[in-house]
Amino acid sequence: MTKTAAIIGGGVIGGGWAARFLLNGWNVRVFDPDPEAQRKIGEVLDNARAAMPGLYDMALPGEGELSFHESMTEAVQGADWIQESVPERLDLKREVYRQLQSACSEDAVIGSSTSGFKPSELQGGATRAGHIIVCHPFNPVYLLPLIEVVGTEANTPGFLDHAEGLLREVGLHPLRVRKEIDAHIADRFLEAVWREALWLVRDGIATTEEIDDAIRMGFGLRWAQMGLFETYRIAGGEAGMRHFIAQFGPCLEWPWTKLMDVPDLTDELVETIAGQSDAQSGQHSIRELERIRDANLVGMMRSLKARDWGAGALMNAHDKLLNATRRVPETLDDIADLARPVLTLDRAVPLDWTDYNGHMNEARYLQAFGDASDRLMMIVGCTTDYIASGGSYFTAETHIRHLDEVRAGARIRVETQVLLGAGKKLHLFHRMYEGDRELATGEHLLIHVSLETRRASDPAPQVAEPLARLAAAHATLERPKGAGAAVGPR
């Protein structure tokens, strides 16, 4: 059954929450009195549709229904999750909870995006205090997975477990904060860095761009995949963290930072920072900067994904969850009708698969068809275990026909027909589609080899027999248009 999220407050953060839920198949109901809310959320959704599917190697569910409502009580009807992202005023937030709890389901989770208030402050005077928690995200919510979950004694462990389970369903990483504290966890680090940065600008030590370079060219990349303590553990060499602390611990007593003090935000300092920041990135609009940011994050996080590390490991786990229905078969027994082309790929086109023309570059067509060939090999029994035992298929010849454009975010699928599957030869014909639109075809001739001799050899029975069954079933299909075609004038 499709779940429903209500978004109360449709600014940058609320729009990001809407995109995260919507693109994971939830229905989303929005309340925001801003007459521009629908346009603003629409622009955030455009960015999310281009970027978020590229995080995964499985296709996201079909989008849920997005609706905008005139009243808060109408918006929260039937909601499983309610995310409040209104301005940081405690009286306003409490009034929001009073209104929505008079209309929402009694078991709905009410999460607040607040970075400034503790949950005990939010729960004060609420009808059902135990259903209100802090769920503090990071922008953009549709890409960054961390959600700081903070509760109080009013929230039962079971309720918090339930809330965290829903967050995981949409690919987020709930970090339960053990005790409530001002600014939670992550923002306390950010505040410390921000204060130090203000001093460096004020004292003329560095410009805003130079400070940003220090982060993005150095420790920011390390932190992105290892965090603080693991980074320092490695800095300690083979002796580990103890050696690091022994070596660098004394510097904590040196006057390196001004974290116990903060410069006055005078008009002069504000103007200096604003001017430097405009010079640094003012040539780009905010939307352009968002798209640049999104493309960079996708590239970095996909790199982490390839190594099953940090946020990438979370995305791999989400891929498995998305493939729970096993739409793409893994064995011959998963195929209901052998006499049809086999679905061998179903995924979105990531941002980093596109070229200077704004569409998928030719190398990625080969990657997609190569992945489809790998899946067909696995289906007929040429699995990692089989390859480890000494047999595999090598590609001998490939011909790709580019029939139509495909852009970032498009959901593509590949259907594969076996033209020959006997002896040492495996002849495949792939068709790539977006919906009913045919995008490309790939024809591939593979040869079975012995990995010991690196020469052609017959496949073992556990591969030859399933392949023969599939090839015999596909022999009843019409020969596909374009099969055997050559490059150049006909």
pLDDT at position 483 over 80: yes
- Tokens standing for 239? 């002796």
Query: How far is it, in rounded angstroms, from Cα 48 to Cα 243?
Result: 44
Q: What is the pLDDT of residue 441?
A: 97
For 453, the 3-state DSSP assignment is coil
Q: Which of the residue ranges 41-55, 257-271, 307-321 would you say has the lowest mean pLDDT?
A: 257-271
Nearest Cα neighbor of 243 from 254, 257, 232, 258 is 232
Q: What is the pLDDT of residue 252?
A: 64
> Who wins on pLDDT, 220 or 471?
471
Query: How far is it, in rounded angstroms, from Cα 354 to Cα 376?
Result: 25
Give the mean model confidence (pLDDT) for residues 358-387. 96
Give the mean model confidence (pLDDT) for residues 118-125. 95
Q: What is the pLDDT of residue 25?
A: 96
Q: What is the pLDDT of residue 375?
A: 96
Give the mean model confidence (pLDDT) for residues 318-340. 87
For 262, the 3-state DSSP assignment is coil
pLDDT at position 490 over 70: no
How is residue 382 annotated by DSSP?
Answer: -
Q: Which of the residue ranges 56-65, 137-146, 220-229, 327-336 would you say has the lowest mean pLDDT?
A: 220-229
Query: How far is it, in rounded angstroms, from Cα 192 to Cα 186?
Result: 10
Q: Where are the beta strands (DSSP E) in 335-424?
A: 342-348, 391-402, 411-422
Q: Taking all residues of the chain, what is their mean pLDDT, rounded to a whole number?
A: 92
Measured from the Cβ of residue 310, the count of other Cβ atoms closer than 10 Å reads 19
> Who wins on pLDDT, 265 or 405?
405
- Confidence grade of residue 243 (pLDDT, cut at 50, 70, 90): confident
> Who wins on pLDDT, 269 or 20?
20
Give the mean model confidence (pLDDT) for residues 448-470. 97
pLDDT at position 352 over 90: no
Binding site: which residues? 9-14
Domains in the chain, CATH or no CATH each? 4-176 (3.40.50.720), 186-283 (1.10.1040.10), 332-474 (3.10.129.10)
Q: What is the pLDDT of residue 288?
A: 87
> Who wins on pLDDT, 381 or 230?
381
For 171-202, the pLDDT digits (tens) are: 999 999 999 999 999 999 999 999 999 999 99
Nearest Cα neighbor of 421 from 462, 387, 472 is 472
- Confidence grade of residue 396 (pLDDT, cut at 50, 70, 90): very high
Nearest Cα neighbor of 481 from 401, 426, 364 is 401
State what percent of residues in the chain have pLDDT above 70.
98
Give the mean model confidence (pLDDT) for residues 222-229. 85
Contact 241, 317 (CB under 8 A): no
Give the mean model confidence (pLDDT) for residues 344-357. 90
Binding site for NAD(+): which residues? 9-14
> Who wins on pLDDT, 241 or 379?
379
> Who wins on pLDDT, 405 or 221?
405
Give per-residue burial for 172-206: e unless 16+ CB within 10 Å, then b: bbbbebeeeeebbeebeeeeeeebebbbbbbeeeb
pLDDT at position 97 over 70: yes
Q: What is the pLDDT of residue 430?
A: 98
State what percent of residues in the chain have pLDDT above 90.
72
Give the mean model confidence (pLDDT) for residues 202-221. 92
Contact 178, 172 (CB under 8 A): no
Give the mean model confidence (pLDDT) for residues 392-420. 95
Q: What is the pLDDT of residue 256?
A: 67
Mention every residue, 6+ apart, whose C-beta is less than 8 A from residue 351: 50, 51, 54, 294, 295, 298, 299, 408, 409
How far, in Å, are 114, 298, 336, 363, 392 from residue 145 at the CA level?
16, 12, 36, 30, 38
